[in-house]
Structure 1
Amino acid sequence: MLHKIVATKHEEILRINLASLPKREVPVYPFAKALKQSSLTIIAECKKGSPSGGVIRPDYSPVEIAKQYEISGASAISVLTDENYFFGSVSHLRDVSRAVKIPVIRKDFILHESQIEEAYANGASAILLIVRILEKSRLEELYLYAKKLGLGVLVETHNQTEVETSLSFGMDVIGINTRDLDTFQIHSGLVQEMADLIPKDLVRVAESGVHSYQDLIQYEGVVDSVLIGTYFMKQPNIASAYETLTKPNT
């Protein structure tokens, strides 16, 4: 599936017209700083569906969802922009970025500078770079390109080698995805194993697999932030779901 997604992405990149990109209308909100505001912050995700789960939220309204996230206390919002496999859109990124005043990250399979330009033009304050799908030199080039535009970067890893690659470039926000992108299976305990490899002065982010207060609280003191999507997307009331997830006995 991952190879299929990447192949499709290369085709999409050829269709990006930089000359037609909109003028950015919102400020760039500091991404790394936002994730260090408290002992355990949340990056809440707008995601209609996924290859493994299909359509998760049929009544998907990313702007309304994002507003509820912001009111509920999320430190940043992740927006899926992949159309073919995650039912997203760059327009969702643009609309959400205009609607909230916290950092919005473009979550996609980014392989080329034109995708970063597209993210910037449509209001993203940060982008996702996945170590698994990028050559080491390409990863560094895209990271530096995003930083040149003033954007934050969440660098996604899944094993020790990928963590070490990220650290070798001085990257400041490192995600540990418990979901294996080759199989889409969750590897429990992975965050605890990998987090010790990352210096505590950097921002460490746990990704995937949080569905309850107990899941969330296990990361207290282990990482700085947790990215959560599917749990919220399955709940009819976002605000209530946020409170249930973050407070015991509610």
Structure 2
Amino acid sequence: MNPVLHKIVETKHEEILQAKGRSLPARKVPIRPWESNLKTSSISVIAECKKGSPSSGVLRPNYDPVEIASIYESSGAGAISVLTDSKYFFGSLTDLASVAESVSIPVIRKDFIIDPLQIEEAYSYGASAILLIVRILTPKELSSLHSFAKNLGLAVLVETHNKEEVKIALGSGATTIGINTRDLDTFQIHKNLIEEIAQELDDSIIRVAESGISSFNDWQKYKGIVDSMLVGTYFMKSKDIAKDFRSLLSGI
């Protein structure tokens, strides 16, 4: 495991120990439909609220997740991803709750989830879905966490980075599979990975392209191959999110 990723996971273990025994708030919003919002006649967009990252630092100094989420929803996003990691991505569970309570489309908690407590938090703070990353879990852990989330009524996006991880994801019961072109060990982008993997997945699977998406050319390249694109950095660096959202889908 990459040293940065290893450090993040170690931090998660520490955070989970500190959070044990804390009471969680009552959920305030219904669980929003996931599949129908992502699997449409075109490529849907999972638009991300992300203040920064370990590799880029702060991406958006004037970060207002509720304002950003409102623009995403009005622009036609199928779902919204909210980074909740505080130490490395400058997010929070408060961000998650604020966004979930301000929009009517599903919101996914994006974090490094390794424990059922984090899934309970996601549910309590209004998420309709969670992210599970194959790279940081054993197959047994992945299956257990996937089942735990589904039993709470949450959808699960299982993130993969190669064909072997896709097999593990499918073995866990995953029905939404993310193909991340950014290798978590090297942080390099493998541009053809999505074409190589997505076309081998059954149409019953919701296929999500992740990382490195920044132009209408990407949308054209993935049309007919994936069901959805998760887009974060492109929007976070934008001076006019609504305009660049339209440009991503139309080239105008």
Q: TM-score, normalised by structure 1?
A: 0.97
Q: Is the 8 A contact 1:163 1:197 kept in 2?
A: no
SS in 2 for 1:205: strand
Runs (5+) with no aligned partner, structure 2: none
1:184 aligns with 2:187: yes
Q: Deviations over 1:128-150 (max 9, x none)?
A: 00000000000000000000000
Q: Which residue of 2 aligns with 1:162?
A: 165
Structure 2 residue aligned with 1:77: 80
* Equivalent pair of 2:52/2:59 in contact (CA under 8 Å): yes
Matched, 1:48 2:38: no
CA offsets per residue over residues 189-243 of structure 1, 9 Å max, x none?
1100111221112100000111111122210001100000000000011111111
**Which amino acid is 1:129 matched to?**
L
Instruction: State whether residues 48 and 82 of structure 2, in contact with CA within 8 Å, keep that contact through their aligned partners in structure 1.
Output: yes
Whole-angstrom distance in 1 between the partners of 2:222 and 2:167: 21
User: Does 2:220 correspond to 1:230?
Assistant: no
Runs of 4+ in 1 over 3 A off after TM superposition: none
Which of residues 28, 32, 40 in structure 2 aligns to 1:29? Answer: 32
> Does the Cα contact within 8 Å between 1:32 and 1:172 map onto a contact in 2?
no
Q: Deviations over 1:30-52 (max 9, x none)?
A: 21221112321000000001111
- What is the root-mean-square deviation in Å for CA atoms of aligned residues? 0.9
Tell me if the contact between 2:142 and 2:172 (Cα under 8 Å) persists in the aligned partners.
no
Instruction: Please give the alpha-carbon distance, in whole angstroms, between the structure 2 residues aligned to 1:38 and 1:97.
Output: 25
Preserved contact between residue 31 and residue 128 of structure 2 (Cα < 8 Å)? yes
Aligned residue runs from structure 1 range 61-210, under 5 A: 61-210=64-213
Q: Judge conservation of contact 1:18–1:117 (CA < 8 Å) in 2.
A: no
Partner residue in 1 for 2:7:
4
Aligned length: 249
Pick which of 115-124 and 200-209 moved more. Answer: 200-209
Partners of 1:18 and 1:114 within 8 A in 2: no
Q: Does 1:243 align with 2:222?
A: no
Q: In the alignment, residue 117 of structure 1 is paired with which amino acid?
A: E
The whole-number CA distance in structure 2 between the counterparts of 1:145 and 1:155 is 14
Q: Which amino acid aligns with 1:24?
A: R
In the aligned structure 1, how far is the partner of 2:43 from the partner of 2:155? 19
TM-score, scaled to structure 2: 0.97
**What is residue 219 of structure 2 aligned with on the other side?**
216
Give aligned-pair identity as a percent.
59
* 1:155 CA displacement: 0.2
Instruction: State the distance in 2 between where 1:63 and 1:15 align.
Output: 27
